[in-house]
Amino acid sequence: MPNGSLDKFIFENMSRKIEWERLYDIAVGISRGLEYLHNRCVSRIVHFDIKPQNILMDKDLCPKISDFGLAKLCKNKESVMSMLDARATVGYIAPEVFSNNFGGVSHKSDVYSYGMVVLEMIGAKNIENFGSNNSSMYFPDWIYKDFGRGEVMRIFGDQITKEEERIAKKMVLVGLWCIQTNPSDRPPMIKVIEMLEGDLEALKVPPKPLFCLPTATVPETLEDSRHGISSSSKPSQFRRHAYSLSL
């Protein structure tokens, strides 16, 4: 895979202002891969470790899901499965995976991880605009705050076209729907594809997830990226959220 993993690709190309259309195509490609695993295999495959490091980019920047070390087969495409211990990567792991108080573990756990990946793609694209606010707020918190003030795209700056704004807003809304705390509130991947490829006007603002709490500042992570520290070695500001609530 000549373009490496998604996390490396995003942060290496951040200064070159990746086009929103390119990020959108990557998000759609990942969603199609997950939909295939969930619905088009003889046995449903739940990956359990969807994160930018496990998304590889080919020469045409087509995303490929990799590393199935934590994956689990579901006979007869069962909706809920048992888990003896928590799996996946902190920051992308769905809340029900580490505590059954949040619901049953299922393919919807991959949907949560996918939503976090999409929000991280958006955050990395606009880390300078976001960081200029000098805030330690968790990234989705910023989005909901702006929704409440009617300034949805303020964090993306002034150098964004109308079409790019529509793409960005659609990705934001889909990402937020995917990270809903209750698994039943998250759309299945077939619906995620429909939402991404459908009309923006058909998407509503989802309820605010319980895990939208403050984390480390963006400038800190930006400084780390300049010194060659990748998100695989240090959690980014977009995914360090409040697992301490339940642990």
Q: Tens digit of pLDDT for each residue in 124-176?
A: 665 444 444 434 456 667 777 776 666 655 656 667 788 888 898 899 999 99
Model pLDDT for residues 220-230, shown as the tens digit of each residue = 333 333 333 33
Residue 101: what pLDDT? 86
Is 115 a domain residue? Answer: yes
Kindly report the pTM of this predicted structure. Answer: 0.79
Q: List the CATH number of the domain containing 172.
A: 1.10.510.10
Q: Is residue 35 part of a domain?
A: yes
pLDDT for the residue numbered 181: 93
Q: Tell me whether residue 187 is in a domain.
A: yes
Band (35; pLDDT cuts 50, 70, 90): very high
Rounded to whole angstroms, the Cα distance separating 74 from 46 reads 8
High-pLDDT (> 90) share of the chain, %: 42
The torsion angle over the Cα atoms of residues 75, 79, 83 and 89, rounded to 10 degrees, is: 110
Query: Is residue 231 in some structural domain?
Result: yes
Please report whether residue 245 resides in a domain.
Answer: no
Q: What is the 3-state secondary structure (H, E, C) of 73-87?
A: EEHHHCCCECCCCCC
Residue 182 or 15, more confident? 182
Cα 112 to Cα 52, 89, 108, 124, 221: the distances in Å are 13, 12, 6, 18, 23
Check: CB of residue 55 under 8 Å from CB of residue 66: yes
Angle formed at CA 212 by CA 237 and CA 218, multiple of 5 degrees: 20
pLDDT 10s digits, 69-104: 999 998 766 667 666 555 667 888 899 988 888 888
| Single-letter amino acid, residue 146 | D
Q: What is the pLDDT of residue 82?
A: 65
What positions carry a catalytic annotation?
Answer: 49
Mean pLDDT of 26-42: 96
CA gap 73, 48 in Å, rounded: 11
Q: Please count the structural domains in the chain.
A: 1
Residues of the domain holding 64:
6-80+88-237
C-alpha distance from residue 155 to each of 10, 128, 138, 186, 189 (Å): 18, 9, 13, 25, 27
Q: Does pLDDT of 216 surpass 50?
A: no
pLDDT above 60 (res 240): no
* 235 has pLDDT over 50: no
